Amino acid sequence: MILISPSLLSADWSCFGEEVTALEKAGADWIHVDVMDGHFVPNITFGSRLVKAIRPFTTRPLDVHLMIAPVDPYIEAFVEAGADILTLHPEAGFHPHRSLQHIRKLGLKAGLALNPGTPVQMLEPLLEEVDLILVMTVNPGFGGQTFLDSQLPKIEAVRKMIDYKGLDILLEVDGGITAETAKKSREAGAHVLVSGTSIFKDGPQSYAKNIQSLR
């Protein structure tokens, strides 16, 4: 089963509550929140206050991608705000193993994200502490980018690693996801697809159709 996690990066920022409600009605499985700090990535977006603000508008899991460094001082704020999944980058702190353990201890699912330039080998000492692995198929920081086919072998490699270890880990892909690249990602082994531009184009009346096209 493929899960669809629309990215609020491409939503109408003047009415996040209404957008989240519309996405849930349209069949979104999760809601993806891209947190950027202008330091770890070259853009500034949302913080924990947005997560808290949209929490009452949906029962769907809030899939929060932390593109911030340092990440550790902000973990508890996102937990308190109502996040369900916190995904961090191994480069965003000195001790990612401890950070992942901390997220789980607080009752959330812990995710680890791999940038296009981050090798799969970074996962090996951390696999036992993650519930989700996010493979970035663009360089993080901006929406609307083109899917990097060069990352398909990485998705396949992560899939094989999870299966070899027999672990219950979701494999998520984010960046340039369209109907065409969704198919490639699924075939490479992805469970969860994050998409912004492809879902939000043409307004709320098209969200259900656009989500279904990715399935």
Domain region containing 148: 3-214
> Which residue ranges are tagged as binding site for a divalent metal cation?
32, 34, 65, 174
- Among all residues, which ones are annotated catalytic? 34, 174
pLDDT at 143: 80
Residue 73, C-beta contacts closer than 8 angstroms, at least 6 positions apart: none
Q: What is the CATH number of the domain that holds 114?
A: 3.20.20.70
pLDDT at 131: 98
Task: Give residue 198's region: left, alpha or beta (phi > 0; psi -120 to 50).
Answer: alpha
Query: Structurally, how many domains does the chain consist of?
Result: 1
pLDDT at 145: 83
> Which residue ranges are tagged as binding site?
7, 32, 34, 65, 141-144, 174-176
How much is the pTM? 0.96
pLDDT at 212: 96
pLDDT at 1: 84
Residue 97, C-beta contacts closer than 8 angstroms, at least 6 positions apart: 125, 126, 129
> Which residue ranges are tagged as binding site for substrate?
7, 65, 141-144, 174-176
Please identify every stretch of the chain with a pLDDT value under 70, giving residue numbers as ranges.
none
The structure tokens listed for 33 are: 């929140």
DSSP 25-88: HHT-S-EEEEEEBSSSSS-B---HHHHHHHGGG--S-EEEEEE-SS-GGGHHHHHHHT-SEEEE
DSSP label of 100 = H
